[in-house]
Structure 1
């Protein structure tokens, strides 16, 4: 029989809170880094310069063809072997997530940039703007606004994916529930509570994104 009475505020603070904090921090950092590098990759792919377009395309397609779990394990196991010292599970998670998510955010940003009418690009060129200035002042602000709901949806997916860092022993939200269940002999209850908390967080964020999407549609 399931018994959830063990899960008190003290248990939450002792086992889960730090893992929840790390999951949120990893999500925020990976989102910021992923959008930054993803935007650069998108601009490289749209630059029309083969020396930039080819490696960016290879990177994006390559990353999108490999499971995130595999990338995590490769980085966690191979990089310390190459450099001769461990780099830690948390740092591994941060670097891997930024590198992996950059490929997905790149495709979102590329679609956003391409959604801007070409007339605005030509107008910027007509007044003497360089490619970089045109992107910075005209194209990217509009692309970010158009893609904001999709970017936030990808961030929610990213938060769900943070549970994968459990495989490299990083202390995330799932790891906190796992340790609590193991130490308090309530394994089944802990995993059920973890699923409920993930659902509540993701459902709430999805509802907020839906409302934001409606407001953006009205502005348009």
Structure 2
């Protein structure tokens, strides 16, 4: 590319970085919120709490059966109806992402906790530890080694999914790229640049997931 080809990118860099910042923010909040919510759902399902366990299973299967873009629409229109006032596109999207990711992270957490050997649970019970104490002190630290690569991989997918927020007019990275491409009549340069940015970030995430996977095997 020549300097003139890069001009739309360099001239619009602050605007593009602002969009990238929103994408990263959405990813970080949805990932943390999804992990916390996923852990709660996983524990409810593993303990087989009457009434709650079937509801948790229905929650997971329901959210995993619908596309994220539909969930975004649900919360964008549903939350204001429930609260009786508008909460804004950003908060609606954050709620949608956390709820959606919670379903996926719950399955990762459930599989991780189930990977802890039965003898560990029995030993903890023999020591007089309660269920939550066993999870916090014994099972979860061990399970994290197995879960970490999948959690990072899910985070990479989540970052890619932030491009869907254009449907509620939020200016994430991909939306910012599209705006610049239209305003400068340089779609090829802008979309190649966007592809390179996504590729670089996803490669970093995949490399981290691979390193964590190798570390878990040698632990």
Instruction: Compute the TM-score of the two structures, normalised by the length of structure 2.
Output: 0.93
Residue 112 of structure 1 corresponds to which residue in structure 2? 112
Matched, 1:214 2:214: yes
CA deviations over 1:37-91 (Å, ceiling 9, x no partner): 1000000000022222111111111111111000001111232244333221211
Q: How many residues align?
A: 217
Q: How does 1:102-141 map to 2 (within 5 A)?
A: 102-141=102-141
Separation in 1 of the partners of 2:215 and 2:5? 40
SS of residue paired to 2:75: helix
Residue 6 of structure 2 corresponds to which residue in structure 1? 5
> Residue 113 of structure 2 contacts residue 143 of structure 2 at CA under 8 Å; is this kept in 1?
yes
Q: CA RMSD in A?
A: 1.6
> Any stretches of 5+ residues in structure 1 without a counterpart?
none
Separation in 1 of the partners of 2:52 and 2:81? 31
Matched, 1:67 2:64: no
> Residue 79 of structure 2 contacts residue 92 of structure 2 at CA under 8 Å; is this kept in 1?
no
CA deviations over 1:147-167 (Å, ceiling 9, x no partner): 101111111111111111111
Residue 165 of structure 1 corresponds to which residue in structure 2? 165
CA apart distance, 1:8: 4.0
Instruction: Compute the TM-score of the two structures, normalised by the length of structure 1.
Output: 0.93
Separation in 1 of the partners of 2:212 and 2:45? 29
